């Protein structure tokens, strides 16, 4: 590979990464809430509220009442079927 092509590729990669990175990540919420009733099958964020399992990714069906995901505080009540189970400070 010639030196000019290498430098052009490197500059292009830096510019692409910089411009995409600025748009991809929103501000982190100050609080999160456990939102029950909206998790998709296999996409829950930890153990079930009823204690039927203790790990993420084990929801057997969509929108089960005891399965939950973290969402930014104030969001859960706006989602059809969502119910706030608990709040958690952001890290």
User: d(Cα 28, Cα 70) in Å, to the nearest integer?
Assistant: 13
Q: What is the pLDDT of residue 16?
A: 56
Structural contact between residues 84 and 33, judged by C-beta atoms closer than 8 angstroms? yes
pTM greater than 0.85? no
Kindly report the CA angle at 68 between 22 and 49, in degrees rounded to 5?
145
| 21 vs 78, more confident | 78
Q: Element (H or E) spanning 17, and its range?
A: helix 3-24
pLDDT tens per residue across span 33-90: 999 999 999 999 999 999 999 999 999 999 999 999 999 999 999 999 999 998 776 6
Q: What is the pLDDT of residue 86?
A: 84
What residues are paired with 86 via a beta bridge? 34
């Amino acid at each position: 590979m010639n030196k000019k092509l290498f430098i052009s590729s490197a500059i292009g990669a830096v510019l692409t990464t910089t411009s995409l990175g600025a748009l991809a990540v929103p501000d982190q919420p100050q609080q999160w809430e456990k939102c029950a009733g909206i998790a998709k099958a296999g996409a829950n964020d930890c153990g079930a509220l009823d204690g039927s399992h203790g790990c993420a990714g084990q929801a057997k069906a969509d929108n089960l009442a005891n399965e939950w995901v973290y969402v930014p505080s104030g969001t859960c009540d706006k989602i059809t079927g969502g119910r706030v189970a608990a709040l958690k400070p952001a890290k």
